[in-house]
Structure 1
Amino acid sequence: MNRYLTEGLTPVFGLEDVGGYGRDVALYLIEQGYFVKFVNSSLSNSERNSYAMTQKNDSWDAQCVANVLIRQLPHLPDTSPSDIHWVIGQLVGRRNAIIKAQTALKNQLHIQLNYHYPSYKDFFSEVDGKTALAFWESYPSPSHLKGVTMEGLRTFLLEASNNACSTRKAEKILLFVQADGEVKREYQTSRDFIIQSMVRNISYTKQEIKKMDTELKVTIQKLGMQLETMPGIDTVTASALIAEIGDIHRFTNSDKLARYSGVAPIKMGSGGKETMKKTKQGNRKLYDVFYNLAVQQVQVSKGSKIPRNPVFYAYYNQKQSEGKSKSQALLCIMRRLVRIVYGMMKNKTAYILLRMPETKAS
């Protein structure tokens, strides 16, 4: 590399991937004293698609990254692959993988139960709830309920649900099973085994998710941040924010964080007219986190009709009264959240919910 440098020039490296294999490269370059910038893959992809003939190979990818680096150098965040942020990112990724696997298992369980218990959706509100899983494992098909009395089933359900299920639940299940009629099929023993295997697997993933949440809570506490003091931010959301943002100090202000997360609109103009348009650039995972958080800020309690966060709820209604659509008002909430989260992470401060006159949502 040194042979390409002339005296007085400082090399700057741009890397797309600083979370996987690229992390080791970034660490090596930083340890050697070089400047390393993070190039969002959406930017390099846009660069690639801007040419009449698109191509995809390593050398062309590198050229596209270099083009973005040259043009956007002052605006690109510094790469800062610190170990704790990397670990949190890995934990979040592992948790997401478990959740995805659990969702697939639940879908498979729905298919199997549909054969065995046509009215299974009327049994339990959640097919993978604690009591439901205990029931499916002990009674994977109606044939296992033969000879079981209502009192016997009631006792089983009370024990499985920690005394939450009533006698009516047992009666309801037996009545539905009777109404469904005979559903026994060939190779029923193997079919039962499939359901019981799924139940064991789902129970295992639930325990793993609990362990993962505990590990995440312990790990993010080492950063000394107080993100969970904001309504709507639990351990999972806080971990996702930290994992996608990384070291907050690589962003000199909240505006850069907003651009990085795709929350800040971009200026579009033609013929002397300019307007601000929503962009699909930026870190889409981080964008989704801020979007979900914004939705929670303007939610209203179903029972009391009291807003979850009165300050944001009032701000949301104010923006709509100014003529903005619901989606535009929500984007304003997201932009405000970026500023607050940026300040909380940088200064390690808690969120203080301002007191407002308690009013019910209309």
Structure 2
Amino acid sequence: MKYQEDESYKKFFSEVDGKTALALWERYPSPPCLDGVSTKNLTNFLLKASNNTCSMKKENKIVKLVKEDGCTTKEHQETRDFLVRSIVRDILFKKQEISYVEKELKELMSLLDFQLGTISGIELVTASALIAEIGDIRRFLNAGKLARFAGIAPVYFGSGGKGKEQKSKQGNRALHGLFYNLAVQQVQVAKGSKRSRNPEFYAYYKKKLKEGKTKGQALACIKRRLLNIVYGMMKHKTAYELPDIKE
């Protein structure tokens, strides 16, 4: 198991910073701390820490792995245990601070009355980031102005009447990244399902691929369409509805 030295502790929990996992690391920061602890006592502890959601299989697995690893006591073990507990306390503190920030953001978002959360893939943090990067939507006369600000609109290079449009490498890169990640989520297939998160955008994406565009170019089309939607939603403070996407 070797909590501090390798990654075998990941066999215990899928999320090592989850509520139950942190409770275990704080109470038993290293395998020697589990010496003499019965499966029943460990079961009672984890059931309480997980609000009775932890199964018996978990406790048996932990005990089994500890026995398989044998003696893992290291030099200055008490100091190592102290550091693990210190890290746990730090994680718990930051989680609490995050909850405070999220509560404040929710109140602020309700005052602004933007309904960006109605778009699949936009949660509280993403919506807040979009609003923070865009600022006052009224400073953009149209969606095209916002697209250039975000570096999503193509840039024309040429002279003498000859030239071509190329992908822009300028603009607000943080905002560009937000729209890129959002575009990717629209065409992703939901975990455990064969259905895409946004069927209309997925169909539009597949259509662009059939037309000969690369995946990057198809995503660029979706980025721009999403930007147009976000611009309209913020300007008119409306909710999102699945669009009937056409050429």
Q: Same fold (TM over 0.5)?
A: yes
Report the Cα offset of residue 156 of structure 1.
1.2
User: What is the CA distance between 1:302 and its match in structure 2?
Assistant: 2.9
Q: Which moved more, 1:263-272 or 1:331-340?
A: 263-272
- Shift of residue 272, structure 1, vs aligned partner: 6.1
Structure 2 partner of 1:128: 17
The offset of 1:355, in angstroms, is: 8.0
Q: Secondary structure at the match of 1:211?
A: helix
- C-alpha distance in structure 1 between counterparts of 2:23 and 2:164, whole Å: 58
Structure-2 change in CA distance of 1:301 and 1:118 (3 Å): closer
Q: Paired residue for 1:114?
A: 4
Q: Which residue of 1 aligns with 2:94?
A: 205
2:220 counterpart (331, 336, 339): 331
Of the three residues 202, 210, 215, the one matched with 1:313 is 202
How far is 1:140 from its partner? 0.4
Q: Is the 8 A contact 2:3 2:31 kept in 1?
A: no
- Alpha-carbon distance in 2 for matches of 1:194, 1:285: 36
Q: 1-side partners of 2:185 and 2:161: how far apart?
A: 39
Q: Which residue of 1 aligns with 2:240?
A: 351
- The answer on whether the counterparts of 1:300 and 1:307 sit within 8 Å (CA) in structure 2 is yes
**Distance of aligned partners of 1:354 and 1:338 in 2 relative to their CA distance in 1, 3 Å threshold:** closer
Q: Distance in 1 between matches of 2:243 and 2:153?
A: 25
Structure 1 spans left out of the alignment, 5+ residues = 1-111, 357-362
Give the deviation of 1:309 after TM superposition: 0.8
Query: What is residue 51 of structure 1 aligned with on the other side?
Result: none
Per-residue CA deviation, residues 160-189 of structure 1 (Å, 9 max, x unaligned), is 112221111111111111111211122211
Q: What is the deviation of 1:304?
A: 2.7
Distance 1:219 1:118, change over 3 A: closer
TM superposition shift of 1:231:
1.1
* 2: CA distance, partners of 1:277 / 1:176: 56
Within the candidate set 180, 187, 192, 1:298 is matched to: 187
Within 2, Cα distance between the matches of 1:161 and 1:328? Answer: 46
User: How many pairs align?
Assistant: 244
Gaps of 5+ in 2: none
After superposition, give the CA deviation of every residue in 1:49-93 in whole Å (9 maximum; x if it has no partner): xxxxxxxxxxxxxxxxxxxxxxxxxxxxxxxxxxxxxxxxxxxxx
Q: Which residue of 2 aligns with 1:281?
A: 170
Aligned pair in 2 of structure 1 residues 250, 271: CA closer, same or farther (>3 Å)? closer
TM-score (structure 1 length as normaliser)? 0.65
**In 2, Cα distance between equivalents of 1:258 and 1:143:** 58
Structure 1: distance between partners of 2:244 and 2:207: 18
Q: 1:268 aligns with which of 147, 157, 161?
A: 157
How far apart, in 2, do the equivalents of 1:288 and 1:113 lie?
Answer: 36
Runs of 4+ in 1 over 3 A off after TM superposition: 269-273
User: Contact 1:298 / 1:316 at 8 angstroms: preserved in 2?
Assistant: yes
Distance of 1:323 and 1:276 partners within structure 2: 18
C-alpha distance in structure 1 between counterparts of 2:154 and 2:213, whole Å = 14
Identify the residue that residue 140 of structure 1 maps to in structure 2.
Answer: 29
Asked whether the 8 Å contact 1:126–1:132 carries over to 2, the reply is yes
CA deviation string 1:176-211 (max 9, x = no partner): 111112111222111111110110110111111111
Q: Is contact 2:151–2:173 with CA below 8 Å preserved after alignment?
A: yes
Distance 2:89 2:104 in 1: 23
Query: What is the CA deviation profile of residues 227-259 of structure 1, one whole-angstrom value per residue up to 9, with x for unaligned ones?
Result: 111111111111001100000000001001001
Higher-Rg structure is: 1
The 3-state SS of whatever aligns with 1:114 is: coil
Q: What is the match of residue 64 of structure 2?
A: 175
Contact between 2:105 and 2:128, CA under 8 Å: does it hold in 1?
Answer: yes
Distance 1:271 1:172, change over 3 A: farther
Q: Distance in 1 between matches of 2:244 and 2:206?
A: 17
Partner of 2:85: 196
Q: Is the aligned partner of 1:322 residue 2:211?
A: yes
TM-score, normalization: structure 2?
A: 0.93
Q: What secondary structure does 1:113 align onto?
A: coil
